[in-house]
Amino acid sequence: MNIFSRKTIVLGICAGVIATASWADSHSAEKLNPAVAARHAQMQMIGYNIGILGAVAKGEMEYDAAMVASAAANLQALAKLDGATLWVAGTEQGATAGSRAKPEIWSDSAGFAAKFDDLAMASAALIGAADAAAVGAGMGDLGGTCKACHESYRGPKN
């Protein structure tokens, strides 16, 4: 696959991920608290990179070892961001526009951090995935880490 067609596919996936991330919901005219906006950007980057792995697993995107390794490494790095500037106390759902962060993020910060560790580990496991089947085999674990954290630490739609 040449560089141009690969870029086209990635842009297509990006558009899909943004659409499913309720872009309109979270990016209304209202100006968000910068920490809330920044952590939403972290989550969107996470969504973009897992979108690449998901497309490879489903055969919608041709397996490319370097692209798979980059997506997995980006996920790992995004999971390891220092959250001190992002998950700022006082920005829970209800206190700040656009936030769906549950108060448990602060009352159980160790549990929340452990969920990011789970994401980092499941991402790292995919860095060397040798073909589309190997990517697919790791997707359950990876997607499970999103779901587990969202169930415990993300509130209902605003």
Interface with ligand HEC, residue 53, by CB under 6 A: no
Contact residue for ligand HEC among 46, 68, 126, 139 (CB under 6 A):
46
Q: Are 83 and 116 in contact (CB under 8 A)?
A: yes
Interface with ligand HEC, residue 138, by CB under 6 A: no
Shortest separation between residue 99's beta carbon and ligand HEC, angstroms: 4
Chain centre to alpha carbon of residue 59: 21
Distance CA 69, CA 53 (A): 9
Q: Which residues within the stretch 63-82 sit at the binding site for ligand HEC (CB under 6 A)?
A: none
Spatial CB neighbours of 63, under 8 Å, sequence gap ≥ 6 = 56, 131, 132, 135
Select 3 or 86, whichever has its Cβ closest to ligand HEC.
Answer: 86
Distance CA 53, CA 145 (A): 15
Contact residue for ligand HEC among 13, 50, 56, 57 (CB under 6 A):
50
Q: Residue for token digits 């490494």? A: 73
Q: Are 123 and 79 in contact (CB under 8 A)?
A: yes
Shortest separation between residue 137's beta carbon and ligand HEC, angstroms: 16
Q: Give me the residues that bind ligand HEC (CB under 6 A), please.
A: 21, 26, 36, 39-40, 43-44, 46-47, 50, 99-101, 112, 115-116, 119, 145-146, 149-150, 153-154
